[in-house]
Amino acid sequence: MKVLNRKLERNMILIGSVWQILSGLATIFIYATYIKTKGVGIEDISKVDVTSIQLLLDNVYIVTTTVGFLFIAMGLVNLYIYKKTKNNMIEKGKGIWLIICSVISYFFMDIISAILFMVSGVIMLSKNKAILKINNGLVN
């Protein structure tokens, strides 16, 4: 029986997961904190304008921290997938999940994660098909 090693996918998933966690932490602790502390910073506007701009910045802060937590959560889920991926096993749903993560990362302009997860998802799906053919005796 041939052994189909999934080391490449696992390494790409690990790199992408660590990148997502670091990106999420940077989004929360650097970018969102900068938005929150910077505030309006304009002296020549009325009190009503300052209040409305501050409310807008608060909403931007909430969205930014939510995106950061989304990246951290996706990174943690992908670390779990990294740990559970085995050689010579058909990994059901994991390849599709990685492609979904890739699309989400693409929409948030996280191109590094998008490329890593798309490539690892496609490789995982193609190895699933090869493992299925080997198990069914269609390939020597």
The ranges assigned to domains in the chain are 7-135
Average of per-residue pLDDT across 66-70: 96
DSSP string covering 92-131: TTHHHHHHHHHHHHHHTT-HHHHHHHHHHHHHHHHHHHHH
Q: How much is the pLDDT for 44?
A: 66
Any residues with CB less than 8 A from the CB of 56 and at least 6 apart, and which? none
pLDDT in tens, 29-55: 999 888 888 765 666 677 777 788 888
Whether the per-residue pLDDT at 140 is higher than 70: the answer is no
What's the pTM value of the predicted model, to 2 decimals? 0.85
CA gap 14, 128 in Å, rounded? 19
